[in-house]
Structure 1
């Protein structure tokens, strides 16, 4: 207790010296008080706009024009998520050192080289008038809230200013959300290339289909930003009318992202002359990523496509410039940024290892002048699958599997991406020669949604997507990527969908919370068979007993899941080559399911027996300390400020047992297990829609609508998320009026 008191006193002393004390000790703010501080005056509206709010601070906006709708949406985004949007802008623009000081300078340099805003001028110049007007009106509302709304509690702590956002900022945030998940693997490969074990490691990567891990602390920090903010996971399913209890098509989606607060989605409803929809929006962007209109519902999962290539560019002409990086509480510094004909030279970033001193550039589809905002604005207005697919002709990143269900009872999927027209992928080295025309030619022939796989009305009557290899559903697909999800999730989703002749909304909601990993059950059975074959039989029968007959259910109460993961945690390091520690891909589910039994069986018999016995002996004392999976597998609810040194724990709301695992439909990601750990990645939002009823749309966030620390709506949806409950977002005006009782009127 005395030690805790000293720590608390230190925290209080530091807090007293900071201008951000309000963030450390936020006052409770009711929904009514948050609405009362919405800045209403001075908006250049054409007519009054009505915003109805429910008790979770979800807005439903009714406007007489599309531009008034956009302005009101921007106002809502700025009011609810202003600080979050500003931080996203700082990341997207490589300005983190302005908040975090010199510790973030190397990360800023890497972000400046990646240059998420690079294509903005070309995109803006090509915008259709309707997009330009919508974006500009959205920015007016957003900046009005930033300038005139209440200052977020964390603003002083982070040194945030009331700085307006620009079109270019908005597009940079959009491209940040479209980060290629292959980048971290690519960057780590640069450290591995040329080492004696690289050829073997690369071949295992290709077989397992999973990427490398960050190679240094800087990459860990950069990776945390990019993977936590990009749309890299997710499940989505669609059911046609013939297989639905309601007689109408159904759609369900649950995106997977970093599990920090505030959530990286914001819920909203809207109606104007062109738009009538509900769904999830990315804070700071005027688009619906997942949602429902009267005629169509849609969701998606990350395609995990390789929308980038690495090129060796030695000898090519390079454009060079210096960038100034401002550092909080320190002097500004300058860094070099070079760009080749094949993209920015990423090896100029100090956090990207480059032992050979090569000049390697990154060619990325996100640097092309594609237009995701126009694509998604049009998708939100689509009346059928054909219009929905056509909307994605101008979509580039992040590459998505988009699923849809329409009011006629039909379902379908499409590939929303912009990819080089490759003939294949390199088998030995991912770095291409920029002087080789055969390597660069695919980037002169880009494939978009019209030239990538699509599927409509499958015979089974349902569709499922979970970041799987497209070859599983489109055998004739062109080369799309290296690294996909293991396939366990999509197999489980398909099995659940096929198990019932007619499916209901409740079935899809239950499917989103399913905790079974079929490959875990198969792997446990394989391990037991090898343990039983040991001379004298399996060691420690009492420890292994729960695994016998285990079906792969990672329930929080499961003893079997705990023992299985502890055994895996002992076996994987033991199977690494001498002198190599278990890290990165070798600890991932793809590698475990692909290679664990194979590597065991490749050992000399005596060595295999010793490894198996040692794994049981190592797992036994760890298992004795805990009763079940939930005791070690915990889901922490915390503001992203938890990452601050020393002060971080002030931003933890709680930590509770949770079920699920790496590749269960209810994804709760983790690494190798040796004891208690916290989930950092998973299903952080859910949607289910029934096309037979325009009001039958249910959504929930892990967290809440409001990013304002202390708000009653900051984390109020977490109990709903845990209990499998949701919030209805209706489309009928009379239902909206009844279920969204708080009314705000914006007047010109």
Structure 2
């Protein structure tokens, strides 16, 4: 009966998806068949009448539709920024609000109800009222004017094509919405790992699994079902979970000035999760990348400073067992979830002294009867907007570092290079003052003061590790363990990047006595994974030791002497990955070919060790089977790029039935999980599409205010059919950038389209 009911529900879901998709076609033809629009048409469509300005504002646009805003007051700059965000990315910002507020069922109907329930429990806007209350006057004023400009575009501008397809309505934004979107972007990447572990606790082998997770420092989620996988993909795609940043001191720079390069790693969907802008007002003079809907520069450059960042991978959350707390310790509220084409649903959300009860959500797996709460720094009244507004105005590295007091999520390694020649890094985070992490179980006891008290003593950037002016003149960050660079750091996290990328960044930067901006751009495109070469050599040694020598010598020949380069034309990379795709599931059959055991950290830590731990006969059988399984797959494909494909697609590609209409194209691409040029993937058994990786780039040379180059995977405009929707893809593929200058004469020359906004 249970199986029949499940099959019925699955048939209902498929049928509901079909009905929703067919109904969506009627008002959504503008999205399915968008009219082409030139850059000039998109500029002309900017809504200008009745703007809440004090004085005229000039916006100069370059051919890629990047705006450069000149305003005589900070308030007018904020209005113009909000207007530009709403005009270029209105539909994207509206969707970000729907996610952050748990309103996806208003788009997708009952299919998204349980995901919405989980999002309502997580409550990304929970801290907003207290953050707003604590804002300094200049932040409150800047955000309010930004929201006014955003609302002008949303309410008075042209209606984005996606609105009809998704059933979106024009709704004004509030500062609380902006804060919720910011906290959504600050999602703790550890959640996916934590949630995947909840149902496994107490099962045979969990203690060993947890110990191996900690040793490898790996924390990839293992989706358990459709809804769980959907929530995981949603949070992973929006969280700032990766990135590289490299700061170079003047002694190692060809120009004699400090330099900085940064490339964030996020979900590879269009429109990009960054937006480029330049700006000048009494307090601001900067260029850089902004998150759509947020009034801050996440990465950028002003006349005195360039900065970038990488995700710290810190544990800004803890799980607590609150099941034995008294009932009066919980606050309960009912949430109403509106469902498209269906009746509203009602769900309960409970709040414990240690945070929201996440196991009340059906998409968060857990053991029967357990009540688990999540304590997250994003529910504390930290202030990322004030921190980043101050950072954009900083005139020295020291002033930049001081800006991050109170910055909460997502935890970041912030790197800077200043005009005085200083380079440095700041740990920007709000973390509990832990003494350590649990050795046996990721869930803490809410009744234990030793577990709860660290949350009463939070550390921030003023007390977390920082570093300035290293003697070698190079600072690199790539989501690595802080223990690699900080002396005796406090307990910060469990799951970090393997360290391959940061070692490669340092090696490339130190290989030349003097570096140029072109060198930094070339480093960003590097596709070598040194530990892949080590693993390949280790596998060959064990294959060569088999009775009769290694099987399939022609197949394995490209691996001999391979340096770990995942160039698109590499035959060795293809063979290596196909071998892993057959070998790893055989070594870890309980993992089903996915989860933490397939992550790069696990492979570099345990693959050869696990092979050597097998009885000789079993090891021989596993190795021979892996080669035999990889051989026919390798015969079907020429090289790594034949199977490793980059896809450019609008995020509407996820719609049932209609999604393929939003794919712009695919092409071979180099790189891998932990190459500097990151193009993430799992185990490989054939052609696959990259969905996570390096999706924006920055290079700045402090010798010249105009020496700043930025590129987005995709384009600047989120409007379907716009000439600037995906026009930067050729630049991104070629490793080239768009110059964003700071000097007025250069701006005037390179941003020829002029819009004058009037009060």
TM-score, length of structure 1 as denominator length:
0.98
Quick one: distance in 1 between partners of 2:296 and 2:593? 41
Are 1:38 and 2:46 counterparts? Answer: yes
Q: Please list every run of 5 or more consecutive structure 1 residues that lacks an aligned counterpart in the other structure.
A: 1-9
- Offset of residue 15 of structure 1: 7.8
In the other structure, the counterpart of 1:480 is 492
In the other structure, the counterpart of 1:612 is 623
In the other structure, the counterpart of 1:235 is 244
In the other structure, the counterpart of 2:264 is 255
In the other structure, the counterpart of 1:5 is none
Of 279, 297, 302, which residue of structure 2 is paired with 1:270? 279
Of 188, 199, 213, which residue of structure 2 is paired with 1:205? 213
Q: Deviations over 1:45-94 (max 9, x none)?
A: 11100000000000000000000000000000000000000000000000
In the other structure, the counterpart of 2:226 is 217
User: Residues 19-58 of structure 1: matches in 2 within 5 Å?
Assistant: 19-58=27-66
Of 694, 697, 700, which residue of structure 2 is paired with 1:686? 697
Are 1:669 and 2:680 counterparts? Answer: yes
User: Residues 104-503 of structure 1: matches in 2 within 5 Å?
Assistant: 104-213=112-221, 214-316=223-325, 317-503=329-515
Contact 2:58 2:755 (C-alpha < 8 Å) held by counterparts: yes
Contact 2:594 2:682 (C-alpha < 8 Å) held by counterparts: no
- Offset of residue 580 of structure 1: 5.0
Quick one: distance in 1 between partners of 2:384 and 2:290? 13
- Offset of residue 212 of structure 1: 4.1
Q: Deviations over 1:149-206 (max 9, x none)?
A: 1111111000111101111100000000000000011111111001001111111100
Q: Deviations over 1:264-302 (max 9, x none)?
A: 000000000000000000000000000000000000000
Contact 2:25 2:165 (C-alpha < 8 Å) held by counterparts: no
Are 1:656 and 2:653 counterparts? Answer: no
Of 567, 582, 590, which residue of structure 1 is paired with 2:593? 582
In the other structure, the counterpart of 1:86 is 94
- In structure 1, the residue corresponding to 2:404 is in which secondary structure? helix
Of 743, 754, 757, which residue of structure 2 is paired with 1:732? 743
Quick one: distance in 1 between partners of 2:602 and 2:653? 31
- Offset of residue 535 of structure 1: 0.6
Quick one: distance in 2 between partners of 1:32 and 1:403? 37
TM-score, length of structure 2 as denominator length:
0.96
- Offset of residue 44 of structure 1: 1.8
Quick one: distance in 1 between partners of 2:436 and 2:503? 26
- In structure 2, the residue corresponding to 1:78 is in which secondary structure? helix
- Offset of residue 742 of structure 1: 0.3
- Offset of residue 239 of structure 1: 0.3
Quick one: distance in 2 between partners of 1:400 and 1:261? 24
Contact 1:186 1:212 (C-alpha < 8 Å) held by counterparts: no
- In structure 2, the residue corresponding to 1:687 is in which secondary structure? strand
Contact 1:15 1:21 (C-alpha < 8 Å) held by counterparts: no
- Offset of residue 407 of structure 1: 0.2
- Offset of residue 583 of structure 1: 2.0
User: Residues 625-644 of structure 1: matches in 2 within 5 Å?
Assistant: 625-644=636-655
In the other structure, the counterpart of 1:591 is 602
Q: Deviations over 1:78-136 (max 9, x none)?
A: 00000000000000000000011100000000000000000000000011110011000
In the other structure, the counterpart of 1:6 is none
Quick one: distance in 1 between partners of 2:276 and 2:503? 30
Q: How many residues align?
A: 738
- Offset of residue 14 of structure 1: 4.0
- Offset of residue 356 of structure 1: 2.7
- In structure 1, the residue corresponding to 2:393 is in which secondary structure? coil
In the other structure, the counterpart of 1:545 is 557
Quick one: distance in 2 between partners of 1:305 and 1:629? 33
Quick one: distance in 1 between partners of 2:372 and 2:196? 13
- In structure 1, the residue corresponding to 2:213 is in which secondary structure? helix
Q: Please list every run of 5 or more consecutive structure 2 residues that lacks an aligned counterpart in the other structure.
A: 1-17
Are 1:522 and 2:534 counterparts? Answer: yes
Contact 2:593 2:683 (C-alpha < 8 Å) held by counterparts: no
Contact 1:184 1:219 (C-alpha < 8 Å) held by counterparts: no
- In structure 2, the residue corresponding to 1:682 is in which secondary structure? strand
- In structure 1, the residue corresponding to 2:462 is in which secondary structure? helix
In the other structure, the counterpart of 1:7 is none
- Offset of residue 16 of structure 1: 9.0
- Offset of residue 250 of structure 1: 0.3
Quick one: distance in 2 between partners of 1:542 and 1:612? 16
Quick one: distance in 2 between partners of 1:201 and 1:59? 50
How large is the RMSD of aligned CA atoms in angstroms?
Answer: 1.2
In the other structure, the counterpart of 1:718 is 729
In the other structure, the counterpart of 1:95 is 103
Quick one: distance in 2 between partners of 1:734 and 1:510? 29
Contact 1:189 1:212 (C-alpha < 8 Å) held by counterparts: no
Of 575, 578, 588, which residue of structure 2 is paired with 1:566? 578
